[in-house]
Amino acid sequence: MSKSFVETITEFFKPQPPLWACELTSKHVIVAAVNSHRNKIAEKFGADLPGDGKLESARPVVQQLLSQVGFKGSEIAVVVPDESARIAFLTAEHPSKNSEEQQTFIRWKLKKSIPFDVDTAQIAYRILGPHRGGTGVDFLVALSPRSVVQEYEELFSSLDIQAGIVLPSTLAALNLLTTVAGDTLFVKVAPDCITTTVFQNRRIQFYRRVTDLSLYDAIYPTMLYYQDKLGGQAFERLSVCGYDASLQAAMDEVQEKLGLIPQRMEPKSVEDIYKPALGAVHLRPEAVV
């Protein structure tokens, strides 16, 4: 894969992401930074959050953590929980080449299937290419309620820091994923959800987020969809990124029942909890020892 996933969808964010990133989960604040060449980790640190789950409660923790790691600059990438965004796949028969008209089409197409106001939502998308096995062009779309994005932006602006980009955790982590010529299943385990993402011939084809399920129960329906709807035969690679140290037992169950051998996401020398933040700042994982 010549470019990492997020690098190939720069329309989602901006050409030059910040060198610092902060991820907020329901349980943690995680900060990571890279050097100017993005080939070395400059800082990484995490702290627990108070148990009330409110974003405002995270402010003093974020402030203290950024001070502790010696944050420099005025801009940061903000990684938010996957539940903050909806990921969708659309096909347009004859898409316009005008970006405003493309956005109008996307909002119209998703209006009945998204449970918030699509007209005011923060939207980002990427044209994936010709529709497989038919006519038209496929789009990958990420959208969030504007109020949700604004809440995170305001948290950092209260600390005199600009949220240079705001992106969901799985999309951030995918920036570190190296796919193979065969099919890849990427599984990300967060404190409150599990996401499964399918790549075929290095192209993203499917995304699913579930809550309150075991790793096996999260993966099995995706595997059925991959076989029945996407015509897949067998995954060449199962790549896993998880925060929980007890994840090994769940991965053993997946291997036993589905015959898939889980592999940790690169760089393996780095704890998984930091990988979405490092993906958000475009760390080059092959350069990390």
- Per-residue confidence (pLDDT) for residue 7, from 0 to 100: 41
- Per-residue confidence (pLDDT) for residue 50, from 0 to 100: 81
Do 184 and 199 form a contact (C-beta atoms < 8 A)? yes
DSSP 43-94: EEEEEEPPTT--GGGGHHHHHHHHHHTT--SSEEEEEE-GGG-EEEEEEESS
Mean pLDDT for 207-221 is 95
- Per-residue confidence (pLDDT) for residue 53, from 0 to 100: 66
Q: Please determine, for residue 10, whether its predicted confidence score (pLDDT) is greater than 70.
A: no
Which pLDDT tens digit goes with each residue over 68-104?
999 988 999 999 999 999 999 999 998 889 989 999 9
- Per-residue confidence (pLDDT) for residue 15, from 0 to 100: 57
Which pLDDT tens digit goes with each residue over 121-160?
999 899 999 988 778 999 999 999 999 999 999 999 999 9
Measure CA 182 to chain center.
21
- Per-residue confidence (pLDDT) for residue 268, from 0 to 100: 87
Q: Could you tell me whether strands 162-168 and 75-80 are parallel, antiparallel, or unpaired per DSSP bridges?
A: parallel
- Per-residue confidence (pLDDT) for residue 1, from 0 to 100: 34
**pTM for this predicted structure:** 0.89
Mean model confidence pLDDT for the chain: 89
Is cis: bond before 267, omega within 30 of 0? yes
Mean pLDDT for 178-189 is 90
Do 141 and 88 form a contact (C-beta atoms < 8 A)? yes
Can you list the domains of the chain with their CATH numbers?
A: 85-143 (3.30.1490), 179-265 (3.30.420.40)
- Per-residue confidence (pLDDT) for residue 178, from 0 to 100: 84
- State the Cα–Cα distance between residues 121 and 107, nearest whole angstrom: 9
- State the Cα–Cα distance between residues 144 and 26, nearest whole angstrom: 18
- 86-92, strands of its sheet edge to edge: 86-92, 137-144, 122-130
